Amino acid sequence: MSESARPTLSDVAARAGVSASTASLAFSGSGPVSDATKERVLAAATELGYAGPDPRARSLRRGRSGIVGVVLEQRVRTAFLDPVKIQMLDGITEGIAPLGAGLLLLTDVGAVDLPVVDTTGGVAAAPALSVENAPVDAVVLIGCSPRLSQTVAALRRRGIPTVAIEGAAGSDIPEISIDNRDATRRGAQHLRDLGHTDAAIVTLPLDPARTRGPLTAALEAGSTSDTASERLRGAREVFPNATGRSAAASSIEEGLEAGRVLLADPATRPTAIIAQSDLLAAGVLQAAEELGVAVPAEVSVLGFDGIRVDGLQHDLTTLVQPSVAKGRAAGEAVVRMLADDGGEPPASRCFTSVLHVGETTAPPRAH
Amino acid sequence: MSESARPTLSDVAARAGVSASTASLAFSGSGPVSDATKERVLAAATELGYAGPDPRARSLRRGRSGIVGVVLEQRVRTAFLDPVKIQMLDGITEGIAPLGAGLLLLTDVGAVDLPVVDTTGGVAAAPALSVENAPVDAVVLIGCSPRLSQTVAALRRRGIPTVAIEGAAGSDIPEISIDNRDATRRGAQHLRDLGHTDAAIVTLPLDPARTRGPLTAALEAGSTSDTASERLRGAREVFPNATGRSAAASSIEEGLEAGRVLLADPATRPTAIIAQSDLLAAGVLQAAEELGVAVPAEVSVLGFDGIRVDGLQHDLTTLVQPSVAKGRAAGEAVVRMLADDGGEPPASRCFTSVLHVGETTAPPRAH
DNA sequence: ATCCGTTCTCGAATCGATTCGAGGTCGATG
DNA sequence: CATCGACCTCGAATCGATTCGAGAACGGAT
């Protein structure tokens, strides 16, 4: 046992002259162990270079791994480029703090086991870590994706407590969301109150393919993104006939792209643009600047999220959503679901966004 | 066994009329099992709603968890706000792809077990997940921190393969770094070649306390950040007497703060500012704009990293470092260390940065 | 009919710790 | 002096799967 291999708890116990069970108690602290014994065990551990109980064995026995999974819709990189997601992640971290758990990043691209032959010729037989087989105590789903239902099914089968942020996952899964529709409606109403009648919309990706292009009826009908759809509906409540563009991602670049198209022709140019995220709005602002279109004199721009886009000189009119609070709520829901008494699952929560009127909206220029 | 509890592999085996070992083989695929048997097992699994082998048990037996830990120096949020870190994370993801492993986020704030009393009155006895006890197969350290040596000691004791990005962790730990010193020297030389003699420096955090303020000798001497120190040395090779400010973080806000101070007084204003990150540089640019100091006419600004600061209108002169490649290299090193043959540890690698001359540097204005 | 080799299946040991009830020691009390 | 607790410590079972060597069944060859 004490070859060159790493020492185990039994080794430590043997060295300290106690049983493995006692050594375990000495370590976990949860149990009546005399100080003398405890010290002896700890001393033996030090002498042997014992690094503490193996987390794998511990988690098998305890049934808990101390890990909370976070499922992102896309590549890790993509998620990290979106300030809103980052804020939510941070909120989750706060929310699960009482658990002392770690965050495991997972994507929901499905468990495709890669038949990889590594450079040394060995074959990695292990299937990729996914929501199907990750050693997590609970999972937070961020955003909805085409694979959402499969992901949820797998989690349900495994009996893993799950919370969803922005994405209807099923009745038994608490959902943390915001008033996407009503908030957008209020933002749109603000524009209408200013006198705008001709607004265009720049949406978040609507379909799994993340189609970039004009906002067609077909695209809208086939939307798989609740968030985008709801915000779109809210805008339509005020501007029923608004057209626009669908972006391939929530990014400044995509906003720039859409803005260029929408603002290109002075004749058909809308007097207001409703962007479904601040990043998109920032892109639109850049496009306006590029094209020499004055904001807000010639075109008003409305964002969504309320992130501070660093380096952006404008004070954007936007719908400020409590991203961190959402993440925290999700984390707290996880904590509650993991509580010993295992009470009833926490209720879904819907947060409220606040319209922040900045300097990017104004009455349309009189003709 | 088949109460309301989740079914185990034995349950499935029993239902299929085979032994547990056979069922295991049927699942893992690694072993001679007749097709008929395999199908029967799979069918039984479906009927029972078996979700696949428990990852906890599997990892105990196999000795691998399929998780790679990433240790960040600070709060998760802080790390995610830095594009360089994100790019590295993304690179790591790419690098470890052949492993099919997940990424576990850890911070190196030490294993303070929180005596938390949860809302239901129960006490969360479990110590927080940390580098001391996380079920990881390998770890990537990002950036150096005051606790680096302790972190490394714990990992060494546990026998966990470790790779460090930007931070000398010890001779047996492969390090992925860049030519911080020489790159900065080249950047500074570019300024000197343009005719600058009076340059100021805005450094990354130097000490554990992340002191913000003037760049004092004491601060420099007590630096615990290799990266900051090396870049500082590089700058000093060209501008030996350069003074400057030390920032509390790599962020636009901190750069703005430092820039305001450095550019405030026209009499003492330097003609060039060497910022140790692009975010800091972006902040300096904002400060210049605020104060009506023309860039590059009145002051030249040099950055470091080569990230594209979204929304930044300037084409920043900067040292472009291959962040993604660094991450990928770290990931690949991990893969190699985890290879079955367990060959010798991969060598450290030092990448090279490239000076990108943008529009924020020019000859100093003639008096 | 016997023997041999294949091909599949099984039993038992193992991974390393945790947990619970049983048992043992020792001091204090009646 | 015997008895009752209090306080520790220990043994054994358990968590759920993987793995390895042994054994069984079966077909073919001699």
Please report the pLDDT score of residue A122 as a whole number. Answer: 37
Q: Residues 39..58 of B with a Cβ closer than 8 Å to A: which?
A: 49, 51-57
Q: Residues 194..233 of A with a Cβ closer than 8 Å to B: which?
A: none
Burial class (CB in 10 A: 0-12, 13-18, 19+), B294: exposed
> What residues in B contact A64, CB-CB < 8 Å?
126
Residue B4: CB atoms within 10 Å: 4
Distance, Å, B111 CA → C4 C1': 62
Residue B127 touches partner A, C-beta closer than 8 Å: yes
Minimal C-alpha gap between A285 and chain B (Å): 10
Long-range contacts of B115-124 (CB under 8 A, 24+ apart): B116/A98, B116/A100, B118/A98, B118/A335, B118/A339, B119/A336, B119/A339, B120/A339, B120/A340, B120/A341, B120/A343, B122/A339, B122/A340, B122/A341, B124/A98, B124/A99, B124/A100
Which residue's CA lies closest to nucleotide C16 at its C1' atom? A57
Q: Residues 253..312 of B with a Cβ closer than 8 Å to A: which?
A: 253, 282, 286, 309-312
Please report the pLDDT score of residue B127 as a whole number. Answer: 75
Residue B241 touches partner A, C-beta closer than 8 Å: no
Q: Please report residues contacting nucleic strand D, using a CB cutoff of 7 A.
A: A 17-22, 25, 31-34, 36-37, 57, 60-61, 63; B 5-6, 8-10, 20-21, 24-25, 27-28, 30-31, 53-54, 56-58, 60-62
> CA-to-CA distance for A55 and A278, rounded, in angstroms?
42
Nucleotides of C under 7 A from a protein CB: 7-12, 14-20
Q: Please report residues contacting nucleic strand C, using a CB cutoff of 7 A.
A: A 5-6, 8-10, 20-21, 24-25, 27-28, 30-31, 53-54, 56-58, 60-62; B 17-22, 25, 31-34, 36-37, 57, 60-61, 63
> CA-to-CA distance for A4 and A30, rounded, in angstroms?
30
Q: Residues 136..175 of B with a Cβ closer than 8 Å to A: which?
A: 154, 157-159
The residue of chain A with its CA nearest to that of B83 is A81
Minimal C-alpha gap between B218 and chain A (Å): 32
Phi and psi at residue A59, in whole multiples of 5°? -75, -30
Tokens 């003639």, residue?
B366
Please report the pLDDT score of residue A331 as a whole number. Answer: 97
> CA-to-CA distance for A76 and A103, rounded, in angstroms?
13
Axis crossing angle, helix A278-291 with helix A252-264, rounded to the nearest 10: 50
Residue B367 touches partner A, C-beta closer than 8 Å: no
CA torsion B166-B169-B171-B177 (nearest 10°) is: 0
The residue of chain A with its CA nearest to that of B8 is A158
Residue A342 touches partner B, C-beta closer than 8 Å: no
> CA-to-CA distance for B66 and B343, rounded, in angstroms?
19
Minimal C-alpha gap between A222 and chain B (Å): 31
The model's pLDDT over A216-247, given as tens digits with 9 standing for 90+, comes to: 999 999 998 999 999 999 999 999 999 999 99
Residue B205 DSSP SS3: coil
Does B129 contact A67 at a Cβ distance shorter than 8 Å?
Answer: yes
Please report the pLDDT score of residue A112 as a whole number. Answer: 47
> What residues in A contact B343, CB-CB < 8 Å?
120
Does B122 contact A339 at a Cβ distance shorter than 8 Å?
Answer: yes
Please report the pLDDT score of residue A190 as a whole number. Answer: 98
Nucleotides of D under 7 A from a protein CB: 7-12, 14-20
Distance, Å, B24 CA → C5 C1': 26
Burial class (CB in 10 A: 0-12, 13-18, 19+), B172: exposed
Q: Residue B252: how many CA atoms within 13 Å on its side-chain side? A: 18
- Cβ neighbours of residue A236 closer than 8 Å, sequence gap 6 or more: A242
* Residue of B6, B30, B59, B155 to mutate when probing chain A, most A C-beta within 10 A: B59
CA torsion B69-B75-B80-B83 (nearest 10°) is: -100
Tokens 């209108």, residue?
B313
Minimal C-alpha gap between B323 and chain A (Å): 13
Domains and CATH numbers, chain B: 9-53 (no CATH), 67-178+323-351 (3.40.50.2300), 180-321 (3.40.50.2300)
> CA-to-CA distance for A70 and B74, rounded, in angstroms?
19
Instruction: Return per-residue pLDDT of chain A as tens, 367 residues.
Output: 444 679 999 999 999 999 999 999 999 877 788 999 999 999 999 999 999 999 999 999 999 999 999 999 877 777 888 889 989 999 999 999 999 999 999 987 754 444 433 333 334 456 789 999 999 999 999 987 778 888 999 999 999 999 999 988 888 899 999 999 999 999 999 999 999 999 999 999 999 889 999 999 999 999 989 999 999 999 999 999 999 999 999 999 999 999 999 999 999 999 999 999 999 999 999 999 999 999 999 999 999 999 876 656 689 999 999 999 999 999 999 999 998 766 677 899 999 999 999 999 999 987 5
Does A100 contact B118 at a Cβ distance shorter than 8 Å?
Answer: no
Nearest by CB: B129 against A49, A52, A100: A100
> What residues in A contact B120, CB-CB < 8 Å?
339-341, 343
Which of B197, B183, B155 lies closest to B70, judged by CA?
B155
B312 token code pair? 């930044």
Residue B81: CB atoms within 10 Å: 22
The residue of chain B with its CA nearest to that of A111 is B100
What totals of helices (H) and strands (E) does chain A contain, helices first? 13, 15
Nucleotide closest in space to A60 (CA vs C1'): D15
Low-confidence ranges of chain B (pLDDT < 50): 1-3, 111-124
> What residues in A contact B29, CB-CB < 8 Å?
125
The model's pLDDT over A152-168, given as tens digits with 9 standing for 90+, comes to: 999 999 999 999 999 88
The residue of chain B with its CA nearest to that of A69 is B104
Burial class (CB in 10 A: 0-12, 13-18, 19+), B292: exposed
Q: Answer whether B305's CB lies under 8 Å from B319's CB.
A: yes
